[in-house]
Structure 1
Amino acid sequence: MRIFSAGIITETNTFAPWPTGMRGFQEGGLFHGNASRDAEGMESQVVRIFRDLAQADGHTFVEGLFATAQPSGPTLQRDWESLRDEVVGAASEQGPFDVILLLLHGAMVATECDDCEADLVTRLREAGGPHTVIGVELDPHCHLSQALLDVADAVILMKEYPHTDYVPRARELYALCTAQAAGQVRPRSALFDLRMIGFYPTGAEPMAGMLHAMREAEQRPGILSVSFVHGFPWGDTADTGSKMLVIAHGSQELAARTAEELGMHIYRQREALLPRMPTIDTALDEASKMPGLSVLADTADNPGGGAPGDNVSLLRAMLARGVTQAAFGAVWDPMAVQACVEAGVGASFQLRLGGKCGVASGAALDLPVTVRAIRERHDQVGLGMSRCQMGTSVWFDCAGVDVVVNSIRTQVFSPDAFTGLGIDLDGKRLVAVKSSNHFRAGFAPLAARMIAVATTGAIQMNFAEIDYQRRRDLHFFPRVHDPLARD
């Protein structure tokens, strides 16, 4: 067989204050056929798996474009078309291919296209013809559309959140697509709309039990794959929402029946699945009274969901309380980074931090700081064992709080976002991170407790109040108590 692989990955927050352009992809990773060799992120591990599996099976493997950008606003249309056309052009010029394997996000929106993934796969289908098997791996925070399912042969989502299972899902996709190309299986996909919008970490109940049920269902005769579409609440599209996807061998009816069964299992737990987070004051009260390290998540200003990452409301509350033995990061503020770089290590001066990008950024903080470290190419462990770039970053201390400020916007995944700059987390009582859930895997070995905090910022968890315009059907939970009327 001849196998082609490519990927375009970004998660679009349509409410974000600025668009995503080509510079965002250059910062995140732009690889023209060399991601398997030169990339350090998730895309490198996935394309290497595809390559190694193909070579082990004696197939020809061709690697195309892999492009990744941090979550932000809609991608500029000209840049989307440039990336899309490079992938389609390579598949056409170097084809024909028996199998095309794609790593996409699923919640990418361009300024003139609400469903970038379906747009790409439709054009690849036109270029490759009806007999090319096209498989897609998606992030569960996607807007999975019927339009995409109609042109792809198999769509498989990561099951875990934090997304620690993208490599196993890549293996699963490869096996399914090559089996179809060999005539061994006939995948049939069905999507069940739960009419819910929510946020579903999988490390605790009830979602942990749901993942177990999904994996058990995959052992049933005829079931090839089960995926839960979490959806991305902060992307306003016609397809925004939570769904269940099942792929069955040769039977649309079996896929549809199983998708509804598993989807209703989640739907019946919708009240329990609503996020319930303490306020900043409540979370700080809890942390102050408990022994050991408390890790607090600044959920509403998470760059991983498209927020700016420069809201300092939680830091302001920490300083107002006189919190010490603490760390906070990472604040995205290239101007503050530059000021610290110019001042140099050891310099003490007054610095204005944060509050720069828009209304969701809140007010800036004026602080007396002392610069402790500067690192030009700071990075951290990202998803899995990938590396996540943070750019030129600085550590300064302010009244007993060690603060990390970075120049490439990203959420905090791992302790080395701090320790890589020299901050010693041993003996800390409190570490606050800009993340919603991906920090948990990295900080679990250190933390006595991890608290997701209802902070202020661009990613609010009151889903009933999100001002959707393109998702015109507002008959969904929690806006409506029982939208399926089956309780």
Structure 2
Amino acid sequence: MTRIAIAGLQHETNTFAPDETTLSDFQRQGAWPALTRGADIFQVFDGLNIPIAGFIDTCDHDMIPILWAMAEPGGYVTDEAFDTITGEIVEGIVAARPDAAYLDLHGAMVTRRYPDAEAEILNRIRQAMGPDFPIAVSLDLHGNLSPAFFEAATVVTIYRTYPHTDFARTGARAAELLDRAMAAPLFGAYRQGNYLTPITAQTTEFSPAKDLYAALDTRGAVSLDLALGFPPADIPDCGPSIFAYAETQEAADAAADATAAHLAEVEPQFDARLLPAAEAVARAMATPGPVVIADPQDNPGAGGTGDTTGILRALIDAQAPDAVLSMLQDPETAAAAHAAGIGARIAVRLGGGHRQYSEPLEVDVIVETLSDGKFRCSGPSFGGSEADLGPIAGLRIAGTGIRVVVGTVRAQNLDQEFFRVAGIEPSEHSIICVKSAVHFMADYKRITQNILFAVAPGANPCDLPSLPFTRLRPGLRLDAA
């Protein structure tokens, strides 16, 4: 029987974020499973909407599980973390002596030493297993993929939705494509796009991204995928990339070229839909609720610190009568609330842990709820995934109708359970503020279509020309918000 080694290492690196991503960030559980080894992978990922789960469910071969690890998006991955985890994956593959390997990667991981970290992973496997060893990879839609990565992979599949609802399906497609490639050689084609757009403009909920992805299956390839890139990464291969596989080189080239032409054609149509925070709050207050206000520039899922207070200040300044916000990372305030107990009124310095983006709010708060931060997501993207975000408190800013969920572990609000863990039912409130860019839409659009994207300072700037890039390849255009 054919034997397939399976492993995963995921990180989306924002090279402008202030805090490095360390080995402990991969080892602990947050909104994703903790680092998992060996046969535990089959149990931990059973039934989850995660790429490796889709691969496992689809693969008909004998699978040898090595390791899976992910950390919340953030700053540079330390070389220690990268070398430790990658070394264990490569050693596990070598020891298993499989016929092929599947890797559940992200595509936008960066270390100080390796700006093209995923290509480095594949190169290390190739050095150990040889140039003809089949390697299938599934990737995030926000991957920044290089020609070297394309050359090192046998086949690649990429998410086609943003918010990502097809995690498992992408892993399943990787299993199917690997089978196809092992049965008979496939020809590949790779193209890079020449512009980069803010992540809020990339959502497949709207055109033109919606149209780009709908067209992929119409172009005659065995497999055709598009990554739109992750903008806040100062590396040469930041930006869109296209992967086509077909039974002939001509067919692969034709599919890749058609997609590249489509991508070039729709550049003017991308719209980040951003509003100044004060304007977003004013619009929300004038609209029958509930209205969701996203805070994309402090999205932990893009490397945001999760602790900025810009949106909260706008709510307070506007005297919003009924608003909720989750999740504000503030371990000190969460600990103080737990020490004080439910019903206590305490003076706090709320948020603002990174002063380059915002100052703390010096306010009195009423402790309304307390939680250990453990919950299970229930939305369409992450339903079934267990989260452990440490001590959480549901607070009301005294003298207002503004409530904030304060947490210990930084995480993107991508599921309504990020409110419910603190006893707040989001649909019952007029204004719902989320520290997220797009992923929240998969769950929150089930309660409202009124969604706004607000601009407040954070580590994920959506005005791309304002970022101090120094390493981008020549000719890459940066579309403004």
Match of 2:135? 134
Query: Is residue 2:370 matched to residue 1:374?
Result: yes
Mapping for residues 81-100 of structure 1, pairs under 5 Å: 81-95=83-97, 97-100=98-101
2:73 pairs with 1:71: yes
> 1:62 aligns to what?
64
Map 1:442-457; keep pairs closer than 5 Å: 442-457=443-458
Classify the secondary structure of the residue corresponding to 2:338: helix
For 1:240, the aligned partner's letter is C
Q: 1:98 touches 1:131 (CA, 8 Å); kept in 2?
A: no
* 1:427 alignment partner in structure 2: 428
Partner of 1:390: 389
Residues 14 and 232 of structure 2 are in contact (CA less than 8 Å); yes or no, is this contact kept in structure 1? yes
> 1:411-463 CA deviation, whole Å, 9 max, x = no partner?
10111111222113343110100000000011011124011112221111112
3-state SS, counterpart of residue 301 of structure 2: helix
Pick the aligned partner of 2:336 from 336, 339, 354: 339
The 5 A counterparts of 1:154-173 are 154-173=155-174
Q: For structure 1, which runs of at least 5 residues remain unmatched after alignment?
A: 480-487
The 5-angstrom pairing of residues 230-269 of structure 1 reads: 230-251=228-249, 253-269=250-266
- The change in CA–CA distance for 1:81 and 1:295 in structure 2 (over 3 A counts) is same
Post-superposition offset of 1:74 = 0.8
Unaligned residue ranges in structure 2 (runs of 5+): none
In the comparison of the two structures, how many residue pairs are matched? Answer: 466
* 1:287 to 1:390, Cα distance in 2 relative to 1, 3 A: same
* Per-residue Cα deviation, 1:186-244 (whole angstroms, up to 9, x for no partner): 22222222211113100112221222111222xx2xx1111111111101111001222
CA contact (8 A) 2:55 2:173 kept: no
Mapped partners of 2:388, 2:222: distance in 1: 36
**Equivalent position SS for 1:278:** strand
Q: Is 1:109 the equivalent of 2:125?
A: no
Mapped contact 1:378–1:393 kept (Cα < 8 A): no
Residues in 2 aligned to 1:211 and 1:355: alpha-carbon distance in whole angstroms: 38
Letter in 1 for 2:406: V
Q: What letter corresponds to residue 375 of structure 2 in structure 1?
A: D
Aligned to 2:290: 293
1:191 and 2:190 aligned: yes
Deviations 1:23-79 (A, max 9, x none): 11122421122222135896x84333333433xx3x211001101100111111122
Partners of 2:151 and 2:427 lie apart in 1 by 52
Of structures 1 and 2, the one with the larger relative CO (CA 8 A, separation 6+) is 2
Aligned-residue identity in percent: 28
Query: Matched residues in 2 for 1:41 and 1:22: separation?
Result: 27
- Does residue 277 (structure 1) correspond to residue 274 (structure 2)? The answer is yes
What is the DSSP-based 3-state SS (H/G/I as helix, E as strand, rest coil) of the residue aligned with 1:257?
helix
- Give the Cα–Cα distance (whole angstroms) in 2 for the partners of residues 130 and 424 of structure 1: 54
Task: Output the CA distance in 2 between the equivalents of 1:231 and 1:394.
Answer: 35
- Does residue 214 of structure 2 align to residue 212 of structure 1? yes
Structure 2: how far apart are the matches of 1:17 and 1:120? 25
Given that 2:160 and 2:166 are in contact with CA atoms closer than 8 Å, whether structure 1 keeps it comes out as: yes
Aligned partners of 1:195 and 1:242 also within 8 Å: yes
Which residue of 2 is the match for residue 226 of structure 1? 224
Show the counterpart of 2:468.
Answer: 467
Segments ≥4 residues shifted beyond 6 Å = none
Residue 203 (structure 1) aligned with residue 209 (structure 2):
no
How far 1:384 moved relative to its partner?
3.3
The equivalent residue for 1:484 is: none
Letter in 1 for 2:192: D
Instruction: Show the counterpart of 1:47.
Output: 52
- Give how far 1:477 is off: 4.3
Match of 2:426, SS? coil
Partner of 1:483: none
Instruction: Provide the residue aligned with 1:355 in structure 2.
Output: 352
> Shift of the alpha carbon at 1:90?
0.3
Amino acid in structure 1 at the alignment position of 2:388: Q
What letter matches 1:215 in structure 2? D
Of residues 318, 321, 324, the one that matches 2:318 is 321
- What amino acid sits opposite 2:8 in the alignment? G
**One-letter amino acid of the counterpart of residue 372, structure 1:** E
After TM superposition, give the deviation of residue 358 of structure 1 in Å: 4.2
What do the CA deviations read for 1:74-132 (whole angstroms, capped 9, x no partner)?
1111221010000000000111x122010001110112111111111111122222332
Which whole-Å CA distance do the structure 1 matches of 2:247 and 2:308 have between them?
49
| TM-score, length of structure 2 as denominator length | 0.93
Give, in whole Å, the separation in 2 of the partners of 1:351 and 1:468: 37
Q: CA deviation at 1:287?
A: 1.0
* 1:329 Cα deviation from its structure 2 partner: 1.4
How far off is 1:269 after superposition? 1.6
Q: Is the 8 A contact 2:7 2:66 kept in 1?
A: yes
Please give the alpha-carbon distance, in whole angstroms, between the structure 2 residues aligned to 1:327 and 1:82: 40
Aligned position for 1:182 = 183
Amino acid aligned to 1:359:
Q
1:190 partner amino acid = A
Q: Could you say what secondary structure the match of 2:254 adopts?
A: helix
Report the Cα distance in structure 1 between the residues aligned to 2:140 and 2:427, rounded to whole angstroms.
34
More deviation, 2-11/414-423: 414-423
CA distance in 2, matches of 1:48, 1:175: 14
SS of corresponding position for 1:359: coil
- The alpha carbon displacement at 1:345 in A equals 1.5
Distance in 1, matches of 2:366 and 2:190, equals: 55
